[in-house]
A and B are shown apart, each in its own frame.
Chain A
Amino acid sequence: MPFSTSTFDYTSYHTLDEIYAFMDLLVAENPNLVSKLEIGHTTENRPIYVLKFSKGGTNRPAIWIDTGIHSREWVTQASGVWFAKKVWADLTSPKGLANILDQMDIFLEIVTNPDGFVFTHTSNRMWRKTRSKHSGALCVGVDPNRNWDAGFGGSGASSNPCSETYRGPYANSEPEVQAIVDFVKSHGNIKAFISIHSYSQLLLYPYGYTTTAVPDKEELHQVAKEAVAALSSLYGTNYKYGSIITTIYQASGGTIDWTYNQGIKYSFTFELRDTGRYGFLLPASQIVPTAQETWKALEVIMAHTRGHLY
């Protein structure tokens, strides 16, 4: 591992240990700005970490970003690492992020599904779910993006433990999900929640479990439109945007449906770039361009949130 985050290789994929070491480096280099919170433990007892970027204050309004809830979507964890460094690098910038951090904190969970991520490195590169076991079932794991208490058990999730979209035995059965639920509830002042997936070039807002439009649909649609325009301005990557159910398909128990129902108005989920050639095996050379263009969209969402605190 490098001795500083400046020499860290952002153009390569990394293991969980390397990413956790990177987080420690970032905290050590910037102890006044960055801290590492342990918000829970996984099924296999790995710690779940969140980076907190804060200029101080108590329980300030906050923005949450998570990457890697589906473990095989490696470009998301890699982008999360790049985002972490970018937040620090942009702090001295007179506009943009510096202004946001004057008012708000940012929480970044780079590896949201650590057990699954380790499994993709050691045993099965295509593993998507958690690693929880269920009595009476041969198959392992739950789709953590079907395990939230928002239309849980409805259409668009499977009750079959062998399915890639297995919802789990009950809502929040997965410690990785429960950890975020507990954190969001105890914090109580998160204003934007952005969950990042790959791949199909989409920016989505709630709902996924019902065709009922969210009350803030017009505003969320406009924010998504502006965010996608910013994203596309960098490399011309073409994104679609809209609600989950109208843009892709019905999916119950999803992350941002739950966060929206908790009162977090600016709830979005990304599906990062797809060249149409590699899917989940996006070459490492595309990590930085993917992260760069996504950051453009994140800036729009974060700036809008700061300008429209509620």
Chain B
Amino acid sequence: MFEAKMLQSSVLKKIIESLKDLFADANFDCSSSGITLQDMDSSHVALCYLKLRSDEEGFEDYRCDRNITLGVNLGLMSKILKCAGNDDVVTLRAEDEPNILTFIFDSKNSERVSKYDIKLMEIDSELLGIPDTDYSCVVKMPSHEFQRICSNLSQLGDSVTIDCHKEGVDFKVAGEQGSGAIKLKQTTSVDKEEDQVTVQLNEPVTQSFALKFLCAFTKATSLSDTVNLSLTQDTPVVVEYPIAQHGYLRFYLAPKIEE
């Protein structure tokens, strides 16, 4: 038996909304330690990795008697989650050898209980080994700022060059019709921690990435006040949105290089 009771259905809604356009079907791997999801987009350019820990406060109850994999069409899951109120408590339930995933939505005042079943899918996807590495540079910034930068620069070109150096981080685009650049300096005088821009730098990095994917990742902006960008030269960037009281959602994006 698997049963996970999440206090805020809005968190699950936001996660699925941020994934469903790039990742059509995905396996939720459930174990006693929590729920993980790893999926790669069809063009092998982007990968998402979700971790929801069972011992965090976001779950009111969590039970997973044996490890199970729930293969779900994310478009369908998005439709089901739209049937939940934002303040509803959502319970996910499945048997040990499941064909069906059940969603139960309890309204805050317990006056309305709704239940939906969806059929599970066999999804043949191999898990990739993502090495734990120390990155040359980790940028922490407000998530809405990163969203704005990606949106602004995507007006002029397909690729952004991210340049991390000791003064801060530069985002540059060069298209056929024009170019743009946004410089962010490290902030030290901002009151709120979530408004700060910090750059942990071991080595400077200059790397280009497809804006189409970065813009898609920023659909997760409402999950978190801050976003962390981890970069190393000639390796995929990690765009991480911490999820309070649950864990995190990470996106990996392969770089573009000059031939």
A binds B: no
Chain A residues engaging chain B, CB cutoff 8 angstroms: none
Chain B residues engaging chain A, CB cutoff 8 angstroms: none
